[in-house]
């Protein structure tokens, strides 16, 4: 199989078909675009959908050979919870290391994990660490639990909703490349541009915009990460069961991302984009205004539509969105 996330067809055929959720405690289980499972053990409540009786669980794995891999792993898990309408509570970590790993690297990974968990208000409560032969790079997995404060994916209208995106695409990928390939980039770009690209790492949490969106009555949310904004739009469409019409020109992208992608011939719309959040809302303009009042840039980039077609419009050109492929960040480390 190819690198990165397995394709949707493989996921459905060889993973999801093998999984069933017969237990009554499982409110929502595995599925395309479902980054969190919802569970409830509240035996006293007559309404098993009540927010106080529901927890969310998610898992994220990072295998990129990058300096801040542990930080990125914990942040990705926290963002999954935020997009599901949950407040992070705790996380467990699994670290599988190559034989040549020095103890100082393990200590640095745990420092990063602790730093990120403190930033998002999540406690590290356990995990597993081992050294394994045959590995070329560390494999880091974060399993996180959060308390659901408000269920997204509300019943009712699904067509004609505005699709709002916070911040910009490619934040995570751009910051990684700017850190890992700084020496190469200095041969073409001024240092101020490279430093600005590295600073995009400060925008990786989607918790602030998720909290505002929930208060605004957002219909559904999906954090943007592996496969870029195109991958996230596909998964949001599949999760909601609707089509999309997206204006390519309205998808926000920073100049540093454009420059870095041009240098390495990457597609910014398929680049690792942790830090951006997709939101489906009845009034995208009102949500954009609410986010702007808190200093969070956001943009209406399209609408949901009847059917299954996922359309990307670029002025007079129209194309259909395809299932997500390998993330563009992987090409940097080939």
pTM of the model: 0.85
Domain range annotation of the chain? 8-148, 162-333
Neighbouring C-beta atoms of residue 200, cutoff 10 Å? 24
Neighbouring C-beta atoms of residue 250, cutoff 10 Å? 13
CATH number for the region 162-333 comes to 3.90.650.10
CATH number for the region 8-148 comes to 3.30.1330.10
Do the beta carbons of residue 174 and residue 269 sit within 8 Å? no
Q: How far is CA 218 from CA 24, 132, 221, 290, 294, in A?
A: 27, 44, 8, 12, 17
Query: How far apart are alpha carbons 261 and 170 in whole angstroms?
Result: 9
Each of the 334 residues of the chain gets a pLDDT tens digit; together they read: 455 454 566 545 554 454 455 545 455 555 555 655 555 556 544 444 444 578 888 999 999 899 999 999 999 999 999 999 999 989 988 999 998 988 899 999 999 999 999 999 998 888 888 889 888 889 999 999 998 887 666 555 688 999 999 999 999 999 999 999 999 999 999 999 999 999 999 999 999 999 999 998 899 999 999 999 999 999 999 888 899 999 999 999 999 999 999 999 999 999 999 999 999 999 999 999 999 999 999 999 999 999 889 999 999 899 999 998 899 999 998 8
């Amino acid at each position: 199989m190819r690198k990165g996330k397995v394709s949707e067809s493989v996921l459905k055929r060889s993973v999801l078909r093998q999984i069933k959720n017969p237990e009554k405690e499982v409110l929502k289980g595995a599925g395309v675009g479902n980054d969190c499972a919802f569970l409830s053990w509240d035996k006293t409540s007559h309404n098993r959908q009540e927010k106080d009786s529901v927890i969310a669980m998610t898992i994220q794995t990072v295998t990129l050979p990058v300096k801040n891999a542990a930080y990125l792993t914990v942040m990705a898990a926290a963002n999954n919870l935020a997009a599901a309408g949950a407040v992070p509570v705790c996380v467990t970590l699994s670290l599988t290391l190559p034989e040549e790993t020095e103890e100082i690297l393990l200590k640095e990974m745990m420092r990063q994990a602790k730093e990120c968990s403190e930033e998002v208000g999540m406690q590290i409560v356990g995990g597993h660490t081992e050294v394994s032969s045959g590995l070329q790079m560390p494999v880091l997995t974060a399993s996180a639990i959060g308390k659901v404060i408000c269920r997204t994916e509300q019943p009712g209208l699904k067509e004609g909703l505005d699709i709002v995106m916070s911040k910009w695409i490619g934040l995570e990928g751009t910051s990684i490349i700017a850190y890992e390939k700084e020496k190469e980039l200095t041969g073409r770009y001024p240092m101020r541009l490279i430093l600005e690209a590295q600073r995009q790492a400060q925008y990786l949490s989607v918790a602030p915009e998720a909290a505002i969106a929930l208060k605004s009555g957002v219909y559904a949310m999906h954090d943007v990460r592996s496969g870029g904004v195109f991958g996230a739009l596909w998964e949001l469409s599949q999760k909601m069961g609707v089509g999309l019409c997206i204006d390519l020109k309205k998808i926000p992208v920073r100049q540093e991302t454009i420059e870095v992608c041009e240098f390495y011939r990457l597609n910014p719309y398929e680049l690792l984009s942790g830090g951006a959040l997709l939101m489906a809302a009845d009034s995208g303009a009102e949500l954009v205004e609410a986010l702007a009042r808190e200093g969070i840039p956001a943009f209406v980039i399209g609408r949901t539509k009847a059917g299954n077609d996922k359309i990307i419009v670029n002025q007079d050109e129209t194309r259909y969105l395809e299932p997500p492929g390998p993330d563009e960040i992987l090409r940097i480390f080939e």
